[in-house]
Structure formats: structure tokens, C-alpha cells
Amino acid sequence: MDENKTFVTRFDRPYIMGVSIIAVVLYHLVSFTNIYRHTSASIFLNGYLGVDAFFVLSTFGLCFSFEKNDITTFYKHRIKRLFPLYIIFLLIVYFIFRPSASLLNIIAFQCSGLSVIKALHTDVEWYTPSIICVYLLFPLLYYCGKKMQHCNVWWHLLAANAVAVFGHFIAPYISFGNNFVGRFPIIVSGVIIYFMYKNGRGKDVLIYISLLLLETMVLTESHFLSMLMLLLVWSFKYINLRPFYRIISFIGKYSFELYLAQTLSTFYYMRVSPIENNYLMVLSALLLTIPIFFAFIAIYKYSSQLIKA
């Protein structure tokens, strides 16, 4: 299957990821400092939708990787991409900010994905363990999608609703439950859309997304914007405007590094910073993010060379 004729093209994927991580960073900056109250900065409170884009792009892209590699190579790529840098991040968090959990528990539960379970939550960050859980469950998602690839679009809609209902029942036992399990339909949709395109069912993708959007509009407003994100990502390849393409695509390529950098400079730094003015706090956190971001890129590249050697 030609990746440049699917849900989102290979050419556009890093750009969308760049826009998404910038939106997430702005969301964290304004929400953690409350500067959105009674100001125009409240527009950034929808920046969390960047996470929805990441989840659907991740599962959609993983399908290509899973088909090109055996399962051992597939997981080697995932381990090399995440764990060396992530363990360094966890060490920094532990030794500088001293969270309540022990270092062993933090590394064990965060790197295994077990910290998504409320009883094992380490209060470090929720996104990476959630992604790890997606990676661990991905073979099951892939083979279920493959089994259903020729089914009518209504069956795909039923499958998305089934995982949504499942997520609703397990949410009380999941740390930051709605952040993760509330996105189950988005996660599953990446696989569903992949197989639709693989079988030349591009029109069914639009029908499927539209039905999900209509359903959330009728039943619940809480996930309406998340489903709208599916439609926006799908339509992006028809938009020719790409301002700052190289810069934003570079940011998208290293979005995980930027995510970890801004986590240190917002969630943790704001806990210990002596700055009381919220606007100065945002500015200082933003400036601190930049050197950490490039340091994490250097660590990732160096660790990748070591593992390759």
C-alpha cells in the first residue's frame, strides 16, 4: 500500500505531529499556571486534542511497521525509541524532584505500563505508560483489525463502541482513566482505518469517521472534539498550506523528546520554582524547555548509535 495515498501521508505525518505536540505544550503551560482564566489564552485549553492525533497516528503507523517486520524486530524498534531516554528522564525526575514512589517502583511500573493501574500509579506522568500499553496490546489490535477488514462499516462502528463501553467499565481502576481509556475508540480507529485503505475502501473511512462524529454529537459532548480530530487529520492531506514546514516537521520527528522536556519544565519545574507571577512562570518554563529538548535529542541519537553498535 502506498503510504502517500492513505489516511495521512508520510510527507504530512511529522508535520501533524509537530503541530500536535506544540498544542500539547501550550495546553500544559496555560493549564498548569491558570493564566487562561479571563484571558484569550483559554483557546489553548483545547491543545489536549494533540494527544488524540498522536494516538491515531501511532496505531495507524504501527500497522505499516508491524507488516514490514517480524514481531521481535517490531519491539526492538519500540524499545530503542522509548526506553533509553525515558529511563534517563525517570532518573532526573527521581533525583531532582523526589516523587513519593521509590526509584525501583517508578522505573518498573512506568516502563512496563503498569502505572496506568490506579493502585500502581507512581504520579510521574501518564502518557508514556499508556503508549507502552498500546504497544503491548498492538498485535491483538492488529489481528482483530485484520479479521474484520472486509466487514461492513457498521461492524467497525460497533467495534469502536464496544471498546468505548469496555473503557467506561475499567476507567475507575485506571489512573487518569479518561485520559487513556476515553481514547480507546481513537486508538482502535487507527487500525480500522489502516485496513480500510489497504482494501481500497477510502470512501468508507469518511463514512466511518462521520458516523463516529455524529454519534458523539448526539450522545456525549465530552468526546465530540476527539472524533472531530479524526476528521481534521483525514482532511489535512487535502490542504496545501504548510507554514514553517521544516521547523514543525523537525519538532514532530522528535515529539517524544519535546514531550519529556516540557514535562520537566512545566509539571515538575513549576512545583519548585520560586517565581510567583504566572506569566513569568510560563516564560521561564518555555525557555527551560528548549535546552532540555535539544539535550534529549542528543541523548536519543547517542543511545541509538550505542544500541546499533
What are the pLDDT tens digits along the chain (309 aa)? 766 678 888 888 999 999 999 999 988 887 776 665 555 556 666 778 889 999 999 999 999 999 998 999 999 999 999 999 999 999 999 998 888 889 999 999 999 999 999 989 998 999 999 999 999 999 999 999 999 999 999 999 999 999 999 998 999 999 887 789 989 999 999 999 999 999 988 899 999 999 998 888 877 666 778 888 888 888 888 888 888 999 999 999 999 999 999 999 888 877 777 777 777 888 888 899 999 999 999 999 998 888 775
Grid coordinates representing 19 are 503541530
**3-class DSSP assignment, residue 175:** coil
Question: Helix-strand-coil percent breakdown of the chain, rounded to 5?
Answer: 80, 0, 20
Contacts 24+ apart (CB under 8 A), 138-143: 138/59, 138/62, 138/66, 139/66, 139/71, 141/59, 141/187, 141/188, 141/191, 142/62, 142/63, 142/66, 142/191
Q: Are 94 and 264 in contact (CB under 8 A)?
A: no
Grid coordinates representing 4 are 502517500
Global pTM reads 0.91
Residue 9: what pLDDT? 81
Number of structural domains found in the chain:
1
Closest CA to 137 of 163, 106, 118: 163
Cα–Cα distance for residue pair 140/142, rounded to 1 Å: 5
Cα–Cα distance for residue pair 291/47, rounded to 1 Å: 23
Q: Position 5: which residue type?
A: K
Q: Are 164 and 156 in contact (CB under 8 A)?
A: no
The burial class, CB within 10 Å (0-12 / 13-18 / 19+), for 294 is middle
Q: Which domain holds residue 42?
A: 3-308
